[in-house]
Amino acid sequence: MKNPAVERAVALARAIPKAELHIHIEGSLEPELIFALAQRNGVALPYASVEALRAAYAFTDLQSFLDIYYAGASVLLKEADFYDMAWAYFLRAKADHVIRAELFFDPQTHTARGVPMATVIQGLARACADAREKLGISAALILCFLRHLSEEDAAATLEAALPYREHFIGVGLDSSEVGHPPEKFIHVFARCRELGLRVVAHAGEEGPPDYIWEALELLQAERIDHGVRCLEDPVLVAELARRRTPLTVCPLSNLKLCVVDDLADHPMKQLLDAGLCATVNSDDPAYFGGYLNDNFEQTVRALALTEAEVITLAKNSFEASFVSDAERAALLDALDRSVGQAALA
């Protein structure tokens, strides 16, 4: 028996404008596009078909996912490949009423294979420009460092990217979390802050709450990506609430990577109840079973979130966006108008 209040909240979540702040663009690479690009570029894949590749998406933890994630990225060789990947994401984002998207990208995944930095950034930047012009999506790029590699490698990556500085607004930290604390990257993040780049970092997904503290204190992260394990440390929760530090939470990712055993056990409602600036995001949607609206819908159903909580999550996404005050006001106004129209329907 469906709950009418929950169904209204689901319908509202699907219809209203929102921002996506935690999307790894390489993680939006669907099996069909992987095979198309492999054929275009003459890349041999260790899977016989789209179906065989999709069947391999049975992850037990973050590392088992990353192994397939990096294999999928091997088909990305030319500027057009990066454009096509990002454009496919933007079309899905448009359908989900995303009006602001801040895309993570992992240049080290590509430069290690001999793909030039220019190829990566220019392909993605061209897609962002077209998303703004043709789809009305405000789009930006955030360059992420792979934390399982050295800080020296991250610093070299930053320097290689600086000729294209106008194409990315910030830096992040992703890949294998456990055993690679934020403190490992203190110096390169200090350099990024000197350059005026915005700073985010993955912390508190598989790693402990201490990693969130390190991201805040040592890297001076303005947003925490994931952050769900903050609830294990009440002092940290209070500090995140005091600072109004956004958490870019990814419910279906948490389920797929066994951070939670059941979406009904997801801490999203606890995060909201604690007054935290939590947001909903899709992380690596091609691999985790859903884009932004899928994450909203399944989370609303599993936790019986209210319409008010859905609106709060959307507002939080705009509050947490790296945009000017004027653009933020326009984004929030678009949300208010949409909510008003939904109320009249």
Nearest to residue 24, comparing CAs of 136, 144, 117, 138? 144
**Choice among 20, 26, 79, 205 that is catalytic:** 205
Total count of domains within the chain: 1
205 is catalytic: yes
**Annotated binding-site ranges:** 22, 24, 202, 283-284
Nearest to residue 257, comparing CAs of 211, 205, 292, 204? 205
**Annotated binding-site ranges for Zn(2+):** 22, 24, 202, 283
User: How do residues 281-320 score in pLDDT, each as one tens digit?
Assistant: 999 999 998 999 999 999 999 999 999 999 999 999 999 9
For β-strands 198-203 and 170-174, DSSP reports them as parallel
User: How do residues 321-343 score in pLDDT, each as one tens digit?
Assistant: 999 999 999 999 999 999 998 87
**Annotated binding-site ranges for substrate:** 284
Q: Which neighbouring-strand residues pair with 280?
A: 249
Q: What is the span of the domain harbouring residue 172?
A: 4-344
Q: Can you give the pLDDT at residue 3? A: 92
CATH number of the domain residue 142 falls in: 3.20.20.140
CB atoms closer than 10 angstroms to residue 134:
12
User: How do residues 69-81 score in pLDDT, each as one tens digit?
Assistant: 888 899 999 999 9
User: How do residues 80-90 score in pLDDT, each as one tens digit?
Assistant: 999 999 999 99
Ordered per-residue pLDDT tens for the chain, 345 residues = 789 999 999 999 999 999 999 999 999 999 999 999 999 999 998 888 999 888 888 777 878 887 888 888 999 999 999 999 999 999 999 999 999 999 999 999 999 999 999 999 999 999 999 999 999 999 999 999 999 999 999 999 999 999 999 999 999 999 989 999 999 999 999 999 999 999 999 999 999 999 999 999 999 999 999 999 999 999 999 999 999 999 999 999 999 998 999 999 999 999 999 999 999 999 999 999 899 999 999 999 999 999 999 999 999 999 999 999 999 999 999 999 999 988 776
The 3-state secondary structure of 197-255, one letter per residue: CEEEEEECCCCCHHHHHHHHHCCCCCEEEECHHHHHCHHHHHHHHHHCCEEEECHHHHH
Nearest to residue 345, comparing CAs of 60, 12, 112? 12
